[in-house]
Amino acid sequence: MCDTASVGNRMIPITSREYKVMLDHRMFADRKQAAANLCREIHACAKRLEDIECDGEFNETKKRELVFLDTRDETINLNRFVFRQRTEQGRTEYTLKCRSPDRYVAAGADVRSPKGMKEEKLEEDIGAPFVARFSHSNTVKGPDKAPKTLKLAAKLFPALGELERDGESCSDELELRPVNALKAYERVMVGPTLRFDLTEAEVALILWSNGLEGRPLVAEFSFRYKHKREDYGTKAVRLAMKFFDELQRLDWCVPEGRTKTQYAYRTG
């Protein structure tokens, strides 16, 4: 039987496991050429290892703008939440995410919305060298203009109206603003796939820049495999771990690098 975390009477499986490593963003001044070069090295990395296959090239790019919203003193983050606005092709969505090293803390976080659980997920994020974090999130459609206060944000996610600071309830009139005035232009480059035994993993190269044509700020490589009932084969997960270890030996990688959220909050 698969291990699942519970929220109330609901049992939530981990529907995806995503392995992430930060890259040297300075190598992506020429994005297309750098992506092609990296892809060749990923293919070579897989070829060096038995029972691991890699196919495809980075041939599709999703483009969107991201803004992390929080109070002046970052109360949302201190409550283990991340509140993010994402705009893609004129459509605006909001995500509330709780990330924790404790699976049950993450799963127990209230990410409900009056708009429903449009895209609720419990995921395992694995960072270098092999650090597991659990992420429980919900994504809903929302207004083009970001909510200006916790009260308005609570219309999307009621938990944002119930935050505490130093043991006291927060005023719902606290102002929200972009964290560190950052608006990140994000490119998600996809196309390659990895196969570990019978398990297929999606590969992504994520680049942040300062505006559409601005300089690179952050670069991340990831691969992710999914199963809606959390039934991951033993051989597949061992091969994925082996590949992740080999991946970190590439000179592109900065295993100690800040994650995207840490970059936004200037932590880590």
Quote the pLDDT of residue 3.
57
DSSP-assigned letters across all residues of 35-78: HHHHHHHHHHHHHTSTTEEEE----EEEEEEEEEEE-TT-HHHH
Q: Provide the β-strand partners of residue 221.
A: 21, 205
Structure confidence by residue, pLDDT tens digits, 203-247: 999 999 988 888 999 999 999 999 999 999 999 999 999 999 999
pTM for the predicted model, two decimal places? 0.93
* Mean pLDDT of the residues in the chain: 94
Structure confidence by residue, pLDDT tens digits, 186-195: 999 999 999 9
Quote the pLDDT of residue 7.
57
| CATH entry, 5-265, from 3.30.70, 1.25.40, 1.10.10, 2.40.320 | 2.40.320
DSSP state of 26: G
Q: What percent of the chain has pLDDT over 90?
A: 90
